Amino acid sequence: MYNTAYHKEELNKHSFLVTGGAGFIGSNIVEYLLKYGAKKVRVLDNFSTGDRSNLQEFMENPAFEFMEGDIRDPETCKKAVAGIEYVSHQAALGSVPRSINDPVTTNEVNISGFLNMLVAARDAGVKRMVYAASSSTYGDHPGLPKVENEIGNPLSPYAITKYVNELYASVFSRTYNFHTIGLRYFNVFGPKQNPNGPYAAVIPLFIEAALNKQAAYINGDGETSRDFTFVENAVQANIKAMLAPEVAEHEVVNIAFGERTTLNELWNRICELTGTDIKPIYREERVGDVKHSLANISKAKSLIGYQPAYSVQEGLSLAVDWYAKA
């Protein structure tokens, strides 16, 4: 992966911190930064959802540093940002169902942990902090495509935590002149995304089922649609947002491909790629799920120069290859 450079300046002058760097999106960001010669790439992770195996290939790289720790501890956050210019904050407890089952822990990690990182980055004089925001913030707003300034009521504890991140970041911009950029991810998928566990995302579950010649479970009638986004597009957004010219305030941008795919279409595409022909098993809708999601990505294009390089079909093909070999 990463045959295209998404940055213009040399990375060997700069130091980066990736929180949640052992996770799915975080480890892909780390891979990119090290491939293109970043001076220092530090990862902070507590392995609650991340995986040590995602970092294994970087351990011998002299530019790589690993720090085991939890963003819920302010001192840990302070140590993590020491000597760092750019922060990509990916550490969070994802998953709507997880947040419904355990709202307290989701709140502690995603809100208290986020605030700890904001304070630490501000106090350390970090040049730019970019953070993982979420399309869940759009809640019950019916409009499509989703535009950044029109949101509805949150539909899950997870969505509340991600919206609070944006509110805190906005207040830090106005009060302390510390300007961050939030990336509202839309259903990111790709290599290193874990298909195991109770909160696995739909694409790795579908791919694993297809590779094992088993039926996938689809929640609802399969006409639920999402703007599925290949992980390399999310990596590009992080790199461009960290290195973007100075911003005068807190900004939030949608990170997606800008195309809707239903769960039925998704399963059919994965079946084609894996040579499988199995009918899915339909079950009840999930609580807290939004029926349709589609992003307007024009703000990301104009603000940070984001240009998604991989369509859903191209991303699925690469993801299927990766899972088949993993």
Helix intervals (H) in 36-102: 74-81, 96-101
158 classed as catalytic: yes
Please provide the DSSP assignment of 299-316 as one string: HHHHHH-------HHHHH
Are β-strands 180-185 and 188-189 bridged in parallel, bridged antiparallel, or unpaired? unpaired
What is the Cβ-side half-sphere exposure of residue 239, based on CA atoms within 13 angstroms? 29
Name every residue whose Cβ is closer than 8 Å to that of residue 199 and which is 6 or more positions away in sequence: 94, 95, 97, 98
Please provide the DSSP assignment of 256-269 as one string: S-S--EEHHHHHHH
Structure tokens that stand for 266 in this block: 């998704």
- How far, in Å, CA of 252 to CA of 69, rounded? 27
Could you tell me if 156 and 101 are in contact, meaning their C-beta atoms sit under 8 angstroms apart? no
Name every residue whose Cβ is closer than 8 Å to that of residue 275 and which is 6 or more positions away in sequence: none
- How far, in Å, CA of 42 to CA of 40, rounded? 6
- How far, in Å, CA of 11 to CA of 38, rounded? 4
Peptide bond into 145 cis (omega under 30): yes
Pick the catalytic residue: 86, 138, 158, 310?
Answer: 158
Structure tokens that stand for 292 in this block: 């349709």
Structure tokens that stand for 23 in this block: 């996770």
Structure tokens that stand for 154 in this block: 């949150």
Active site residues: 158
